Amino acid sequence: MAKPPFLPFLLFVASALLSTSCSAAPRKMVAFYELKKGDFSVKVTNWGAIITSVLLPDSKGNPGDVVLGYDGLGPYINNSANFGAVVGRVANRISGARFVLNGKAYRLSKNSGNNTLHGGHRGFSHVIWTVKEKVDGEFPYITLYYHSFDGEQGFPGALDVFVTYKISAPYELSIAMRAKSLNKATPVNLAQHSYWNLRGDGSGTILSNTVQIFASKITPVDANLIPIGTIVPVSGTPYDFLKPMTVGSRIDKLSGGYDINYVLDQPIGGNGMRKVAVVKDGDGSGRAFELWANQPGVQFYTGNFLNNVKGKGGHIYGKHAGLCLETQGFPDSVNHPNFPSQIVNPGEEYKHNMLFKFSF
């Protein structure tokens, strides 16, 4: 039997948050849940399928929470930074909030200037997911489900989406995302949007973190962070993390910081996985993680738009308080035929797997 939520309360959110029709929809329950194995703990909520906390020891055995977030549900309702959320139906940006599929033009919700970002105003990070299964034991996990209706935020076709968070081994967090198109071809590109700070939540910037990204190319962007459609080498640029480098070593050569999609080099290996990146804390905690995934790209983002955000425990998150490594399909692929396709046809299943291997 699953344990109750780790917080002693349940929060009820009105049906107005659940659908465009408020008349007869039942209320759904939002709660917080914990997966725990020894001194390793992952906490999630079914609002936005958000990871709210990842607790693990440092090299001296002191526990620390290594993801940014909020206290309680309230701030997550807005969550403009998408702390810890699953973003979709299409993560990242879609140029002009439109695309053409099978000869038909689709117009989407605009929420980033004239563009669509992370699925629109009410993307998957701002809806209530259903808890399908919560299992404790040696390898605890939780599976969350969301049904996206035909036309939601302008996207075609009904879509069933599942996300499973699992402690799959000591100090390992696996994430499996699945989506099935029910009646129309549709783009799908889900991403997990946690902000990591291995020194600990609220401990300062991630500029001293060492990062290695196994990618020799990027998809450059315009002033609005929309890919221009080319794929270029990182060699000789501040984007080169083929060898471990601190985040802050060349960040001053960029406008604002890192916010770019990397084209992964590593060949697909066992179970379709490849090594994406390695992150190490440079300030003495000894914490590190390897990220593995089965997607062709990863968005490296250094919290450039964080500005005095009140986070957990009263911490104030400023610029570069956390970093994101969002494995994904290439941004704006629906408007660039030379990018790997994100289209899922009826009866097909989208599969996105991630594995975080923590050490200290």
pLDDT higher than 50, residue 22: no
Contact in structure between 231 and 102 (CB atoms under 8 Å): no
Whether 2 and 136 have beta carbons less than 8 Å apart is answered as: yes
pLDDT of 271 reads 74
DSSP string, 269-300: -GGG-EEEEEEE-SSSS--EEEEEESSSEEEE
User: At 312, is the secondary structure helix, strand, or coil?
Assistant: helix
pLDDT of residue 272: 86
User: Rounded CA gap, 276 and 227, in Å?
Assistant: 21
Element (H, E) at 213: strand 210-213
314-349: per-residue pLDDT in tens? 999 999 999 999 999 999 999 999 999 999 999 999
Joined tokens for residue 48: 């936005």
Q: What is the DSSP letter of 8?
A: S
Evaluate if residue 24 carries a pLDDT over 80. no
- Torsion 249-225-278-321 (CA) sign: positive
**Which residue is listed with tokens 């910081």?**
257
Residue 20 clears pLDDT 50, i.e. is over it: no
Sole residue written with tokens 């299943």 = 349
Give the per-residue pLDDT at 313. 93
Instruction: Dig out the tokens for 195 from the structure.
Output: 């902000």
Predicted confidence (pLDDT) per residue in 85-98, tens digit: 999 999 999 999 99
pLDDT digits (tens, 9 = 90+) for 221-250: 999 999 999 999 999 999 999 999 999 999
DSSP 54-121: EEEE-TTS-EEE-B---SSSHHHHH-TT-TTEEE-SB-SEEGGGEEEETTEEEE----BTTBEETTST
Cβ(186)–Cβ(343) below 8 Å = yes
Q: Which of 80, 49, 77 is nearest to 146 (CA)?
A: 49
SS3 251: helix
Q: Residue 99: pLDDT band by 50, 70, 90 thresholds?
A: very high
pLDDT tens-digit profile of 256-288? 999 999 999 977 777 789 999 999 998 889 999
Is residue 320 annotated as a catalytic residue, yes or no? no
Contact indicator for 86, 354 with CB cutoff of 8 Å: no
Find all residues with CB under 8 Å of 238, minimum gap 6, and list them. Answer: 250, 251, 253, 254
Contact 169, 138 (CB under 8 A): no
pLDDT more than 70, % of the chain: 92
State the Cα–Cα distance between residues 236 and 154, nearest whole angstrom.
40
Q: What is the pLDDT of residues 284-297, one digit of tens each?
A: 899 999 999 999 99
User: Among all chains, which residue has been given the structure tokens 């929809």?
Assistant: 25
Collapsed DSSP state (helix, strand, coil) of residue 15:
helix
Tell me what pLDDT residue 27 has: 65
Pair 50, 44: CB distance under 8 Å: yes
Q: Show the CA angle centred on residue 147, arms to residues 142 and 150, nearest 5°.
A: 160
Tell me how far apart the alpha carbons of residues 131 and 45 are, in angstroms, rounded to a whole number.
Answer: 9
| Amino acid 12: pLDDT | 40
pLDDT at 16: 36
List the catalytic residue out of 193, 315, 320, 352.
193
pLDDT value, residue 18: 37
Given 34, 172, 326, 336, the catalytic residue: 326
Residue 17: pLDDT over 60: no
- Read off the pTM: 0.92
The separation between CA 79 and the C-alpha centre of its own chain, rounded to angstroms, equals: 13
Q: How does pLDDT run across 146-155, given as a tens digit for each residue?
A: 999 999 999 9
Residue 139 has pLDDT above 50, yes or no: yes
Band (7; pLDDT cuts 50, 70, 90):
very low
Residue 233 burial (CB count, 10 A): 12
Whether 31 has a pLDDT exceeding 70, the answer reads: yes
d(CA 277, CA 300): 10
Residue 4 has pLDDT above 70, yes or no: no
Q: What is the mean pLDDT of the chain?
A: 92
Q: Going by C-beta distance under 8 Å and a sequence separation of 6 or more, which residues neighbour residue 337?
A: none
- Residue 193 is among the residues annotated as catalytic for this protein: yes
The SS3 assignment for 338 reads coil
